[in-house]
Amino acid sequence: MPNYSASNIDVKRVNRINVIKTILAHDKISQPDLTHKLALSWPTVLQNVKDLIDLGLVEEVGAFASTGGRRARAFAPVRDAKACVGIDVTQNHISLVLVNIAGDLIKYTRMKSAFSMDDDYLTDLGKAVTKFVEASGYDIENIVSAGISLPGIINSSGKYILYSHVLKLENTPASAFTRHIPFKCNMINDANAAGFAEMYGQPEKKNAVYVSLSNSVGGSILSTGAFYLGDNLRAGEIGHNTLYPEGRTCYCGKSGCLDAYCSSKVLTQYSDGDLAQFFGKLKAGDKALRQVWHQYLVDLSYAINSLRMIFDCDVIIGGYVGGYLEEYQYELEKLVSERNTFGYDASYVKICRYKLEASAVGAAFAEIDNFIRQI
Ligand SMILES: [Zn+2]
């Protein structure tokens, strides 16, 4: 994500945020490199570095060899000084991750658990989170907060679930959901979380559209490092873009939505609901599934081309199906390239870095980002 500008928050705070983010992006960085990357004077950088050392987030780690004159001082992040928990709740699973302040994934687990707002489910969720953190060996005192990713529309404060078709929730306060989790919690939409995970720690990347191909099709739009949410917090609901007017019926009740052509269910209906089995049979040369897969990629290429034409940025493909796409990237790029009005380039199509754990990781990264903004 790009460094912050000083449009809304004061210059001192922006400098603080950019100093810590730059140090966190390196294993070790010299004083000249740090001042050069930040384009700030050394006294300004030094004051911030001193404060960050006092907070236990940065340490001085000797000196870099210099080609002449004095050896340059060097600084490093204290990577495990703080950590955040990421929790991804779906209809039938819970994923948990622990991510440190430097963005390292410390621990990940995924368990089967059918969602419900019953106290039994919520108590078990709280116990699972506590046990997970304890098992990591991480000092519970250093856990800043937990980010919870959900398939639904979350209000801008992250404290209210406005609507979730999948979890059958409407106007539910987050506190009702998180009452057994022993950390401060914020909610985030699952596709936004996954998109955030894909972009995190890459200051050169400014804009991207993330497409989630799971049991339903969703997406998120990141513009100059922030989510574009739209007037009704529904931006990125690309699953309900019309692909074929009068086409297949979507679960939303309309006809021809992208979801009816590109959700993972389109594939798993041929493999007992098991996506790994679908790709296993495809690899083994099943001719009928080959045809299904080709049509799936054709339909996906239409959607990708539309997104590229509208947003003119990278299109990152994730979700359950995204986890299997690497092997078929060339085939997909060829189809996308054939539709490109402005040349044949399809290198803007990116396959996700994170697979099943994307939303949980993104929820944790969002918490780390919040923490860094408040240092
Ligand atoms: Zn629909």
Higher-pLDDT residue of 266 and 228 is: 266
pLDDT attached to residue 258 = 98
- pLDDT above 70 covers a percentage of the chain that reads 96
Query: 288 and 218: one domain?
Result: yes
Query: Do the beta carbons of residue 145 and residue 364 sit within 8 Å?
Result: no
Average pLDDT over residues 37-56: 93
Q: Is the pLDDT of residue 8 over 60?
A: no
The answer to whether position 294 is within a domain reads yes
* CA–centroid distance, residue 164 to ligand 1 (Å): 14
321 & 277 share domain: yes
Task: Tell me: pLDDT of 196 over 70.
Answer: yes
Same domain, 87 and 132: yes
Q: Which of 77, 99, 127 is the last residue of a domain?
A: 77
- Residue 201: pLDDT band by 50, 70, 90 thresholds? confident
Residue 3 confidence (pLDDT) above 60? no
The alpha carbon of 259 and the centre of ligand 1 are apart by a number of angstroms equal to: 6
Own/partner pairs, 330-333, CB within 8 angstroms, 24+ separation: 331/297, 332/297, 332/300, 332/301, 332/304
Does 241 reside within a domain? yes
C-alpha 240 – ligand 1 centre gap (Å): 4
In the predicted structure, residue 6 carries a pLDDT above the cut 70:
no
Would you state the pLDDT for residue 103?
92
pLDDT grade for 52, boundaries at 50, 70 and 90 = very high
Residue 244 CA to ligand 1 center (angstroms) comes to 11
The answer to whether residue 104 scores a pLDDT higher than 90 is yes
Q: How confident is the model at residue 314 (pLDDT cuts 50, 70, 90)?
A: very high
Task: Tell whether 3 is covered by a domain.
Answer: no
The pLDDT tens digits for 165-188 are 889 999 999 998 899 999 999 999
On whether both 226 and 326 belong to a single domain, the answer is yes
> Which residues crowd ion ligand 1, with CB under 5 Å?
240, 250, 252, 254, 257
Q: Judge whether residue 225 has pLDDT over 80.
A: no
- The CA 366 to ligand 1 mean position distance, Å, reads 28
Instruction: Give 357 or 315, the one with higher predicted confidence.
Output: 315
CA of 221 to the centre of ligand 1 (A): 19
More confident residue, 7 or 174: 174
Rounded distance from Cα 250 to ligand 1 centre (Å): 5
In a domain, 353, yes or no: no
Average confidence (pLDDT) over 293-319: 97
Q: Look over the chain and give the mean of its residue pLDDT values, rounded to a whole number.
A: 92
Instruction: Report how far ligand 1's centroid is from the alpha carbon of 345 (Å).
Output: 30
pLDDT at 106: 94
Residue 291 and residue 214 share a domain: yes
In the chain the beta strands, taken as DSSP E runs, fall at 29-30, 58-64, 72-77, 83-89, 93-100, 105-112, 143-150, 153-154, 160-164, 169-173, 185-189, 208-213, 217-223, 226-227, 314-318, 349-351
Residue 70: the pLDDT is 67
Q: Quote the DSSP letter at residue 140.
A: G
Domain containing 296 equals 208-312+314-347
pLDDT at site 336: 96
- CATH number of the structural domain spanning residue 223: 3.30.420.40
Q: Across residues 126-140, what is the average pLDDT?
A: 94
Nearest to 181, CA basis, from 216, 223, 225, 131: 131
